[in-house]
Amino acid sequence: MYWQTAKPLWDFIPLLIISIELDLKDYPRSTPAIMMGRMGVDNRHQGQGYSKVLPSHTIQSIKYISITTGVMVIVIDVKDERLAQYYEQFGFVPTANPLRLILNVRQI
C-alpha cells in the first residue's frame, strides 16, 4: 500500500492562524493571517529541487484554507535578506520590518 511505503518529501510545513496588526492601506488594522514557519525537506530528498516547489505548494494550500478561515494574508518571518529576496519571487512584499514579509491571499 502506497501510504505505508511512501517516503515523505518534506518533514514539516508549519502553519499557524494568527491575527496580525498591519498599518497598511486596504487592510483592517487587525488582519486574519496564516504564519508560515520554517519548512524542511526530508534528508533523503535534499538537493533535488523540492525546496523550490515546497513554497508554491504551501501557498496554494493556504489559498484553499483561506476560503473557510477568512485569512487575508500570509506572513513569513525570514532569518536574512537572502531569504527575503527568495520569497519575494513568490509575491511576498516586505513590511516595516524587512525580515517580515506578507502576501495578499487574493493575489495568489
Per-residue pLDDT of the chain (108 residues; tens, 9 = 90+): 334 445 555 556 788 889 988 777 777 778 899 999 887 777 777 788 877 788 888 899 899 999 999 999 999 999 999 999 999 999 999 999 999 999 999 998
Helices then strands, each counted (H, E), the chain: 3, 7
Q: What is the structure's pLDDT at 7?
A: 57
Read off the pTM: 0.79
Cell numbers placing 48: 533535488
Domains and their CATH numbers in the chain: 2-107 (3.40.630.30)
